[in-house]
Structures are given as structure tokens and as C-alpha cells.
Amino acid sequence: MEFSAQQIASFLNGEIVGNPTVTVSDFSKIEEGKPGTLSFLSNPKYSHYIYDCNSDVVLVNRSFVPERDVKATLIKVENAYESLAVLMGIVEEHKPKKNGVSSLAYIAPTAKIGANVYVAPYVYVGDNAEIGNYSILDSFTYIGDGARVGNNCQLHAGVKIEKDCTIGDRCILHAGVVIGSDGFGFAPTDDGSYRKIPQTGNVIIEDNVEIGANSTIDRATLGNTIIHKGVKIDNLVQIAHNVEIDENTVIAAQSGVAGSTRLGKQCVLAGQVGIAGHLEIADGSVFGAQTGVPGSLKTPNQIYQGYPAVPVTTFRRASVVYKNLPELQKTVYELQKQLAELQSKIK
């Protein structure tokens, strides 16, 4: 699919600097720009690439002022990164989509399949399950009894939606995602063994949620595990039973949230963050990589780092001290020695 610079600027409410008739049919990174493609520049540290870039069109922020001539046609927008996402979304929407149900898929007689759905070979759809309009189920997807998948969803290869779980509209679940596996519930007994607690709840995932490959969201012991609209979850993330994650929160890879914890709106968890169970985390909380959270945090819009989680400014000051510990230890030993000598003289 080919677009002119003028068309792209119209889509994005952008300002053209250069040739409005030049056309592009693909995307490329600015450091690897090729003729016939569109690149973008949003991070200033990549600015030097724009002067030798062979891309025909480059999206830039309105604030960008070139230091010398640029070969490419520039389209100035408010936010180049966001505009790239909008443009790529438009391109994806115009790509032809598969539809139809493979003869190699199993669809239970009581299941309901919407219009223009694509069901790939080796998909399983259980009794009383529902698949919404225009949704895509790639090979080896499993939809359990009574589960519901909304409209315009994409479930990649090997996704498992266990019984009675609900997926909203416009959700993307990447390969290997498991929704509704049993929560980790075991009651200790007098003889030191553990008795399994049946996990009788479910998982509710609202609209516009994306979940990365091989992430797992456990069903509730009782009631619901809830992922609210707009949440974005990276690969290899574990969400335990009865957790509730509020709107537009973002969770990066290898993070985990223990049972019955509630995360507020627009929180950010960087990689390998661990949050203990039965906690309340305020809206807008941001956690740096490998932060451990053992207690509730009630003040909104704060940034935390370290274990236990402390305000990031405190963590940075503590890190300076930690780096200097060997020298500080030497100083303490020297002061102890001098003190001992003084005490000896006084006596």
C-alpha cells in the first residue's frame, strides 16, 4: 500500500517540509532508512542519522530544527512516536484479513461464532463458548467451555482461555498466553502437607488490553481476577488470583503481582518488579526495574525503586552511599584504630 507525504500529513494533521508528492510503501528505522520508506525521529540522540537517512519521508516533532540540509521530506507533528503508531495502525487496518473456519478446527455445537471470524486449523472452541465478530484465532488456540472472546480480538498461536473467562473487544493476546489457570491456593494441614483450594472464580479482561507472549493470569479463588480496559502487559508476566489492575496500567516483562493486590490506574511496572499480595497501590505509581513492593502505597503519582520500595530520590542517595561502602569501611577501621590509640594514651 502506497501513501504520499500529503496523504500522511492529512492523516496526522502534520506540516510538510519538502516534497508533498513523494510516496512511501513501507517503514524503516531512521538509522537504516531506505528509499520508498517512512522513518521517524523522536529521540534526540538519534538526530544525527537524519542527515544521511535515505528514507523518503521522516516524521519529526514540531520542535525539531535541522542543523543542516535534510534530503528527506519532513512531516512535523506534535508527537512523532505517537503519530507513527497511528499511521501503522491505519496500515494494519487496510491489510486483508483472513476469515472462515478451518475444517481442522473443532467447534462445539453449542458454541457461537460471530461474523467474519477466522478460526485456524487445530483450534478448539468448547461448549457454550462465544467468539465475537471479526476476531482471529490462530492455530492451537483453546477456548474453554463458557468462555467469551469479544469483537475484533486477535489470539495468537497457542493461547489458552480457560472455562468461563471473558475477553473484551479489541484485545490482543500473544502466543502462549494462559488466561484462567488455577490460582496458587493451598491450605496447610496438620501433617505438613497442603490441601488444594478449588479455584472457582474466573478472569475478566476488559476492552483494548494487550498481553505479551507466555504471560499468565490466574482465575480467582472466589469472584474475579480483573484486568481493566487499556492495560498493556509484556511477555512472561504472572498475575495471581483475585488481582485487580485498573485502567491503562503498563507492566513490563518478568514482573509478578501476588494474589488479591489492587493496582491503580496508569501505574508503570518496569522489568522484574515484584508486588506482594493483599496490597493497595495508588494511581500513577511508577516502579523502576527489579523493585520489590512488600507493603501498600497510598500516595498517587510517586516513583519508587529498590527493595523494599522507596522513593526514587532516596534510592539514588542510598546507591551513592552503597557504592562508597568499601571506602567508608576503611575510614571507620582507621577511626577505630585512632580512637583506641587515644584511649590508650589517656589511660
The Cα–Cα gap between 323 and 284 comes to: 30
Residue 78: DSSP 8-state: S
| Integer angstrom CA distances of residue 214 from 185, 227, 291, 320 | 21, 17, 22, 37
The Cα–Cα gap between 251 and 257 comes to: 10
Exactly one of 48, 156, 241, 278 is catalytic; name it: 241
Sequence-ordered list of residues with C-beta below 8 angstroms from that of 75, at least 6 positions apart, any chain: 5, 8, 9, 12, 14, 15, 16, 17, 57, 58, 59, 60
Q: Are 131 and 143 in contact (CB under 8 A)?
A: yes
> Max CA-CA distance within the chain?
98
H/E run at residue 57: strand 57-61
Q: Please provide the distance, in angstroms rounded to a whole number, between the alpha carbons at the two ends of the chain.
A: 92
The Cα–Cα gap between 74 and 98 comes to: 35
**Which residues of 124-185 form beta strands (DSSP E)?**
124-125, 130-131, 136-137, 142-143, 148-149, 154-155, 160-161, 166-167, 172-173, 178-181
The Cα–Cα gap between 6 and 4 comes to: 5
Residues in the chain: 347
Q: Are 206 and 228 in contact (CB under 8 A)?
A: yes
H/E run at residue 263: strand 262-263
**Which of 152, 155, 86 has its CA nearest to residue 125?**
155
Known catalytic membership, residue 241: yes
Q: Which residues are known catalytic residues? A: 241
